[in-house]
Amino acid sequence: MQLPHIYDIAELCYQKGVLHALISPGSRSAPLTLAFARHAHLNTKVIPDERAAAFMALGLAQQTQTPVVLICTSGTAAFNYAPAVAEAFFQEVPLIILTADRPPEWIDQKDGQTIRQQALYGRHVKESYHLPDTYDHPDITWHLNRLINEAINLALSDQQGPVHINVPLREPFYPATGEVISFDRSPRIIQKMQQQKSLSENDWDQLASLWNQSKKILLAVGQYHFYEDDRVMLSNHLERLSEAYLIPILADAISNLSVLPLAALEEEVAWVRFQDLILSEKEQASLRPDLLITFGQSFISKPFKQFLRKYPPTYHWHIQADGEVADTFQALTHWLPISPNAFLSGILTKLQFLKKKHAYKQQWYQSNQRAEQYTQEFFKASSPFTELAAVKEVVQHLPSQSKLHLANSMPVRYVNYLGLPAHKGIHVFANRGTSGIDGTNSTAVGCAWESDTVVTILTGDMAFFYDRNAFWHPYLPANLRIIVLNNHGGGIFRIIRGAREQAELDTYFETEQSLNADALAKEFGMAYHLATDLDSLAVGLVDFFEKSAQPKLLEVVTSSITNAAVFEQFKELYVKREDSAI
């Protein structure tokens, strides 16, 4: 009898620390659905759209810092998880994906809802497991237990990420009427102990030698999420490093350095936030580092990546405890397989004879100050209402300690150019693992379920409407705030030089659309406000972030042509100003 053994998957997940499961309806998956739904200690939600469900699981797992289970039926339902699975893989977020399947003899036999599901997600999961299709021998149940233990351990090991468990199921799928589902409350648990990684004394001596040979040292942080227990420690380490050894710290908006206390010490720490403007100048060879130290995942800033590829450092140390290491700037010389805190602690305690680098820090700090001053002055001048001006206004109104989800294409770039307020502690999320427009709404919904603060989505119209099924369920969180920048198309193509010069721009690249968000807001029970200029935007922001019994949606309508022109002007005037000052 297969059902009791399938039911015990839910108990084993619970015993291994799983708290949540998102289930999409289906018959083949009924044994899994019933096991998780009837488990007293597991929180389950039913999400009809598998693609939306998977992104919600991503957002939920980011908040709980525990794996989230996904359950779907056989066939193309499982394929719909793929975009979020890839995003979770590159963001290193743990998901447990349970896909119901036909027994092996029925694959490729023209049976309904039957595809080739083994290893469905390829190299975008840490591992794909295939469970037995019969349970008529004790060794098979032992094998089932071992595979589930192994899968969850792997999801949480080293570089975390999604794992896929394919579950062949035979009829009957449902228990008999009145049958009580019971669980083995003492399943075998295989625990994996955490390995502490460190560098040898010889390694530290080599790093000290290279440090002292380098006159210009830059620390740069890519996308990063802080666990609460290392947040204060990391902040203290970065502050001491910058103050004691005069090292500038460059960080994208998605690095989340703004949630650290050091953000309030901008002058002392030389926290560089306006690199997109600073490095847009034609000649920046003087800012080339001799030694670049990085940690975190991807960088948004294209000017920063182009700058380092044009002026590569002599040495590039990347700090990453495990997993595959990327050579983003084509300059990697050393992989330090330890945590950022372990590296910074080692630098500060073991290498107290390091040389200071005063002039380089001041150079970055002064450049950052000029860029910040220019940004403030630019918006004081009278100009047309654009997305850039709207985003600047919205960012200033974001509540302290709130969470901000940035959609790809223009929203994430606008915020990276403008910078976040340095003292509000806003935690930023963005699906920059794959950088697609799908799933922003859903990821934020999953985040909001487990957040006790406001969760804001800043998105463009294409990403917003593409993921409208994020709201197609009965669990809409009242702390959700949605800001839609609606220019009626994919405005980013107007700033991409190759695309904007094509006769087919409007139809084939920008893909003009005529939708507005008011009908969607009404359909899903959201409070709605329309902004078409700065005055109506100001009115909409008056109580937008106040507590309410329903989500709120603020739609900002602008001209795509004007947006592109003003954004280009914003960048070009800065370059001209800096060139004239030389």
pLDDT tens across the length of the chain (582 residues): 567 788 999 999 999 999 999 999 999 999 999 999 999 999 999 999 999 999 999 999 999 999 999 999 999 999 999 999 999 999 999 999 999 999 888 888 888 788 899 999 999 999 999 998 888 888 888 898 999 999 999 999 888 999 999 999 988 888 888 888 888 888 888 888 877 788 898 999 899 889 888 889 999 999 998 766 677 778 788 888 777 778 899 989 999 887 776 554 555 567 888 999 999 876 688 999 999 999 999 999 999 999 999 999 999 999 998 888 999 999 999 999 999 989 988 888 766 656 666 788 889 988 999 999 999 999 987 788 999 999 999 999 999 999 999 999 899 999 999 988 877 889 999 999 999 999 999 999 999 999 999 999 999 999 999 999 999 999 999 999 999 999 988 667 666 677 677 777 777 776 788 899 999 999 999 999 999 999 999 999 999 999 999 999 999 999 999 998 999 999 888 888 876 665
Count the Cβ atoms, other than its own, within 10 Å of residue 249: 23
Amino acid at 403: K
CATH superfamily membership of 201-372: TPP-binding domain (3.40.50.1220)
Q: Which fold has domain 382-578?
A: Rossmann fold (3.40.50)
pTM: 0.92
Nearest partner of 346 among 552, 206, 470, judged by Cα: 206
Tokens coding 213:
């040979």
- The span from the CA of 272 to the CA of 365, in Å, is 7
Show Cβ contacts of residue 434 under 8 Å, excluding neighbours closer than 6 positions: 83, 86, 87, 90
Q: What separation in angstroms does the CA of 294 have from each of 32, 255, 343, 345, 563?
A: 43, 11, 11, 15, 33
3-168 architecture in CATH?
A: 3-Layer(aba) Sandwich (3.40)
- The span from the CA of 129 to the CA of 138, in Å, is 19
In the chain, ranges of CATH 3.40.50.1220 domains:
201-372
In the chain, ranges of CATH 3.40.50.970 domains:
3-168, 382-578
Nearest partner of 116 among 82, 78, 143, 87, judged by Cα: 78
Nearest partner of 489 among 508, 461, 468, judged by Cα: 461
Show Cβ contacts of residue 305 under 8 Å, excluding neighbours closer than 6 positions: 299, 328, 329
